[in-house]
Amino acid sequence: MRLEPYLEFAKKAFAREATYRMEVLTEIGALVLRVYILRSLWTALYAQNAAPINLPLHGMITYATVAMLMSLVLEVDGTRLIREKIREGTIATDLMKPISLPLYFFSDGIGQTLLHALLVVPSLFCALALVHIDVPPPPTIVAFAVSFAVGYGVNFFVNFLMNSIAFWTLETFAAQLIVRWASDLLSGQIIPLTLFPGIVGRIVFGLPFAAIYSTPLLIYVGVIPSSQWAAAIALQVGWLAVFALIASAVWRAASNRIVIQGG
């Protein structure tokens, strides 16, 4: 299989996103304000209550800030194209092209992601003016990067599946947003999953959403010690494999369906 076309798709997506410079600035501004809100919130909460044992204030602020920066990358959804293409009917001609469509969506997403990853750099500097974030030793950074990459994959397949529902019904918007919001809470993006009590806590850690934000972040702030890195990342890879399998099965079923409808 040749990879050049997919590189080209990624470059196209990058250039397309880069044209909206005003939007980019607004996004950074909003992010900085949100970091400020989170700093104020956690500072106030830690000032008046007993701190959780494994997460002191600076760890919590680091968690919240890094989660925010990760969301710049993870909230990009390249597979949204699936729904648009189905609605407009262009998916039929796309399926005839000699390319792998899922891979096309992936490269489009990567292109957008790269632009947003570049956004992370200026945002990081602005955020650092407001908050001090912990920088862990290099091995932890590497483990975080690996875990983040696997989480990115899980996130891609979850989005892919949600958008593929459009092959069966176009009324996917509400369902998709509900999953997105539930995932914001259950993935550990808004608050660390360690705050969930008892049995609820064990359930949220057992859900696949935890593989997206929670695992990389808990590695970063040191709640997951180096002795458990392998197990934590292995669980993420497990979820990645499960979702990849479901996604490919759904894609096959969906492509057949298009062919039948096109008759």
Where on the chain is the footprint of other proteins (CB under 8 A)? 20, 22-23, 26-27, 29-30, 33-34, 36-37, 40-41, 43-46, 48-49, 52, 174, 177-178, 181-182, 184-185, 190-191, 195-197
Please state the closest distance from residue 47 (CB atom) to other proteins, in A. 8
Q: How far apart are CA 210 and CA 179, in angstroms?
A: 14
The smaller minimum CB distance to other proteins, of residues 27 and 94, is found at 27
Q: Are 117 and 73 in contact (CB under 8 A)?
A: yes
Smaller CB separation from other proteins, 22 or 96: 22
DSSP state of 166: G
Give how far the C-alpha of residue 68 lies from the chain's centroid of Cα atoms, to the nearest Å. 11
Q: Which is nearer to other proteins, 36 or 125 (CB)?
A: 36
Shortest CB 43 distance to other proteins, Å: 8
Nearer to other proteins, 174 or 231 (CB): 174
Residue 100: CB minimum distance to other proteins, A: 32
Cβ closer to other proteins: 39 or 233? 39
CB of 121 to other proteins, least distance (A): 19
Taking the complex as a whole, the smallest distance from the CB of residue 48 to other proteins amounts, in Å, to 5
Task: List the one residue out of 230, 191, 186 whose CA is nearest residue 211.
Answer: 186
Long-range own/partner contacts, residues 118-124 (CB < 8 A, 24 or more apart): 119/24, 119/27, 119/28, 119/72, 120/69, 120/72, 120/73, 122/28, 123/28, 123/31, 123/32, 123/69, 123/72, 124/69
